[in-house]
Structure 1
Amino acid sequence: MKKENIININLIKRLFVFVVGLIIMSFGVSFSVKADIGVSPISCVPYIYSVYFPLTIGEFTILLNVLFMGIQIAILRKKYNPFQLVQLPAIIVFGYCIDGTMFLVESLIPSNYIEQLILCLISCAALAFGILLVVKSRLTYLPLEGLVVVISKTFKKEFGKVKISMDTLMVILGVISSFVFLNHLVGIREGSIIAALSIGAMIKYFSTNLPFIENWLADEVTKESDVEDISDKYNNTFVITISREYGSGGHEIGKYIAKELGVAFYDKELIDLTSQKTGYTHEYIQENEQKLTNSLLYDLYEQNFNYVNDELPPKDVLFLIQSKIIRDICEKESCVIVGRCANFILKDHPNCINVFIHANNEYRKDKINKIYKVKSPFGDNDLKDSDEKRANYCMHFAKKDWRDATNYHITLDSSLYGSKVSAKKVIEFIKERKI
């Protein structure tokens, strides 16, 4: 089939998926209204105004989104891409679909709170699946998400923080409007909180577990270009990855192994390479790599990025760039790499030995306080905090338990031998493997 025909068919597919997504989203909005325990942050303002004024929720949704488009144009001015005007027919269709689905579910009246809660969850699932289809169609952003993208790029602000700010602003406007026009709170309740916390997670779940959507939308040209033969990529190199507890001596053990084997060593060197690739400062990279304070909170924050394509949380960007750097290095040369979930990144490498270095707390504290010379004395709670951050990082990006011995070929307690002897034992193991 000719490339032009493939592109035309693919465009029709994307338009179909986009429209279906809008229809499903409109059912989600209508279900949330009928549940009557609060609507999503983006829908609360149109809903409240529709209760007081003679326009429908769908019509107010159109007006609000036209306002978002106007703000985009005002910010970008001459830089505004006229193609984004396609948002206008999209939101008109979406608005009238909401009114249509409101008519279809008019007789749907939950008889108790449990039914209201179930309907609220169904509305969240419908909104999430509809948003997923709109996002996967890659035709355009919905105006609110488009405005968030414009603000974040124009004013160099983090997308996730802008998205949270906009959702919060919608809720604040909803609360103010509710009391001004209706004298009591309407449309914002526990259902609004459920929607705010769950829709992003549901989008991610659907995206992960329903890959056929993306596969169906991918044209044949893209599919062919995505095929990569990795069978011979690493055949001429070997790599040793060192995962380690802070203070266990993993850095010096890895450096000694690299020296004895006559191969390159990468630890802090990866910070330099990442800085060159991204423009991030060394301080920023050191602060954000290899640790995650709270996995649950980060997952909640990360949900905001599921509403659009091509926007990733900064820590994810950092991880992906470092992953590419590590793979590129290992294609070209044999080496020892410390940290950065390298054992997961290189899971397809046929000549990779994964090592985990640990030690007892007294050994670690002694090394950290006397050799690393930290500013304030490092205690047991500090060790626990450091371990949790590294475990969270590994679980988030590798979906693996950092301390699970099955993730490694060899684990070693360095407090039994010291760094130099520990390194020699790893080298003996490597030579026995005949890499």
Structure 2
Amino acid sequence: METDMEHEDRQVIIAVGREYGSGGHEIAKMIAERMNLPFYDRNLLSEVAREKGIDVSAIEKYDESPRRAFVSQTVRGYSNAPEDGLANMEFDYIRAMASRGDSFVIVGRCADAILAGNKGLITIFVTADDDRKIERISRIVNVSEAEAARMIRAKNKKRKSYHNYYSDGKWGDSRYYDLLINSSRLGLEKTADVIEAYIKARTGQS
């Protein structure tokens, strides 16, 4: 199906990094829906699995996970780590979409780094205040605030390790993104408004 962006013959790729609990996933999905663009997050796994003929349940636990060095090794430039295997399959899939000229919104998966240099790429990072992240995760996952804080630390440590392992840029460092925004200031809807306005300004849309 032809999207609005593709109809204008101008590729736009919105790569969204996010802290756990910041609402970055929801904001990215809003942007995709508003701009009529395909949206990729965990559903990218299903696309990769179908292309490779792999059972998605066999690979989902390795999604956005850094390689565990103590249980893997590299021989003649090739790694036997399943984390590396899945990461490279996802990266290849993302590069292929970009090479075809597809426009899309993608969350995580180091898209900001692996597509660096693409003229249509716009990189966003969504952060939030700790108390707001804790309140959000506590409510959504139905856990105590202490457990929510523990989950946030663990998830963000994993995301940071994954991104920094496969990328030259540093996860969450404003120097490596076009726009870094704190969703606590305006809430999810209005944060999406700001990001959408930025994207339209960048792409010359009214």
TM-score scaled by structure 1? 0.42
- 1:379 aligned residue: 148
- 1:363 aligned residue: 132
Q: Which runs of 4+ in 1 moved over 6 A?
A: none
Shift in Å, 1:424? 0.7
The equivalent position to 1:317 in structure 2, one of 61, 77, 85, is 85
**Given the alignment of the two structures, is residue 259 of structure 1 paired with residue 33 of structure 2, yes or no?**
yes
Shift in Å, 1:269? 1.9
- 2:189 aligned residue: 420
Q: Give distance in 1, aligned partners of 2:79 and 2:30.
A: 40
Q: Give distance in 1, aligned partners of 2:83 and 2:54.
A: 12
Shift in Å, 1:389? 0.9
Amino acid in the other structure paired with 1:315:
E
- 1:393 aligned residue: 162
Tell me the SS of whatever aligns to 2:172: coil
Q: Give distance in 2, aligned partners of 1:310 and 1:401.
A: 24
> Residues 294-315 of structure 1: CA distance to partner in whole angstroms, max 9, x if unpaired?
x7xx34544x223x45554211
CA contact (8 A) 1:265 1:337 kept: yes
* Greater C-alpha radius of gyration: 1
- 1:268 aligned residue: 42
- 1:345 aligned residue: 114
CA contact (8 A) 2:41 2:107 kept: yes
Higher RCO structure, 1 or 2 (CA under 8 Å, sep 6+): 2
- 1:67 aligned residue: none
Pairing 1:101-140 to 2, within 5 Å after superposition: none
Q: Give distance in 1, aligned partners of 2:59 and 2:24.
A: 20
> Residues 263-319 of structure 1: CA distance to partner in whole angstroms, max 9, x if unpaired?
111112202112213444434433211133xx7xx34544x223x455542111111
Richer in helix (by share): 1
Q: Give distance in 1, aligned partners of 2:60 and 2:24.
A: 17
CA contact (8 A) 2:21 2:137 kept: yes
**Given the alignment of the two structures, is residue 246 of structure 1 paired with residue 20 of structure 2, yes or no?**
yes
Q: Give distance in 1, aligned partners of 2:60 and 2:137.
A: 17
- 2:198 aligned residue: 429
Calculate the aligned-residue CA RMSD, in Å. 2.2
Q: Give distance in 1, aligned partners of 2:115 and 2:164.
A: 16
CA contact (8 A) 1:361 1:383 kept: no
Amino acid in the other structure paired with 1:413:
N
CA contact (8 A) 1:239 1:353 kept: yes
Amino acid in the other structure paired with 2:25:
H
CA contact (8 A) 2:28 2:105 kept: yes
The equivalent position to 1:403 in structure 2, one of 164, 172, 181, is 172
**Given the alignment of the two structures, is residue 285 of structure 1 paired with residue 59 of structure 2, yes or no?**
yes
Pairing 1:54-93 to 2, within 5 Å after superposition: none
Tell me the SS of whatever aligns to 1:347: coil
Tell me the SS of whatever aligns to 1:246: coil
Q: Give distance in 1, aligned partners of 2:54 and 2:137.
A: 27
Richer in strand (by share): 2
Tell me the SS of whatever aligns to 2:16: strand
CA contact (8 A) 2:15 2:108 kept: yes
C-alpha change, 1:358 and 1:309, in structure 2 (3 Å) is: closer
Shift in Å, 1:393? 0.5
For this pair of structures, how many residues does the alignment match? 194
C-alpha change, 1:376 and 1:290, in structure 2 (3 Å) is: farther
> Residues 180-220 of structure 1: CA distance to partner in whole angstroms, max 9, x if unpaired?
xxxxxxxxxxxxxxxxxxxxxxxxxxxxxxxxxxxxxxxxx
CA contact (8 A) 1:360 1:415 kept: yes
